[in-house]
A and B are shown apart, each in its own frame.
Chain A
Amino acid sequence: QSVMTQPPSASGTPGQRVTISCSGSSSNMGSNALNWYQHVPDAAPRLLIYSSSLRPSGVSDRFSGSKSGTSASLAISGLQSEDEADYYCAAWDDSLNAWVFGGGTKLTVL
């Protein structure tokens, strides 16, 4: 059971906009930076969003993040086949004194 909750799956067609939610608590995303990762099987996980809404250099502006209180979301616009991957949210948890991750959302591009 993951500390932060994500839907196990999401899907969309090419060109569509999809959103992935992440729900946490006051001890993790409620008080700390929230980050999003993309993980294609057999590849290195990739940081997509940090501090809830900031993109690292090189990440497409098709990816955007937002957070309100203990809920966050990742939006992917102009969906492409290469976006098919697992997506994880992550934050430091002050109660557990550990980095915690959501259970992951498998995105399928139909």
Chain B
Amino acid sequence: QHQLQESGPGLVKASETLSLTCAVSGASIRSDNYYWGWIRRPPGKGLEWIGSISYSGSTYYNSSLKSRVTMSVDTSKNQVSLKFNSLTAADTAVYYCARYNFWSGPSYDTWGRGTLVTVSS
């Protein structure tokens, strides 16, 4: 069973680019049954879907964020990555990596604990 662990810088400056990594353990990410997604939760607000990626690199992005988001996958390291540019204070949030399972819903059925990103001015 997959376990997910997000990592990132914690604090980034406005206008810079955020880079986050999701390390997947317990099983290979090379499966046609799953995609790998990113979801965030700004402080005091609800969850917002950022997008998802397959192990072969097919991507789906939230259209409201698409111009600033790039997702990638490294199957040799069993990890997925998120890059988010032109940051503002509104991008301050806990960022979660999650497994998208086509056979349960579909749904994001396994999540990491998240990593807090604070954008400073």
Contacts and interface: CB of A to CB of B under 8 A. Distances in A.
B46 interface: yes
Interface in B102-121: 104-114
Interface size class for chain B?
Answer: 20 to 34
Given A44-B113, A45-B96, A100-B49, A90 B63 contact: no
Given A45-B111, A46-B111, A50-B105, A98 B49 contact: yes
A61 B113 CA distance: 24
Nearest to B99: A47
Nearest to B49: A99
A101 B96 contact: no
A98 B62 contact: yes
A44 B47 contact: no
B48 interface: yes
A46 B4 CA distance: 13
Contacts, number: 63
* Max chain B Cβ within 10 angstroms of own Cβ: one of A90, A92, A98, A101: A98
B49 A33 contact: no
A33 B63 contact: no
Nearest to B62: A98
A35 B96 contact: no
A99 B61 CA distance: 10
Which of A2, A43, A44 has its CB near the most chain B CB atoms (within 10 A)?
A44
A35 B109 CA distance: 10
Given A42-B113, A50-B104, A50-B107, A104 B47 contact: yes
What are the nearest 6 A-B pairs in CB distance? A50-B105, A99-B49, A101-B47, A44-B111, A33-B105, A50-B107
Given A47-B109, A50-B109, A101-B48, 15 more contacts: A33-B107, A44-B96, A44-B112, A50-B104, A50-B105, A50-B106, A51-B107, A56-B109, A88-B46, A88-B47, A90-B107, A90-B108, A99-B49, A100-B49, A101-B49
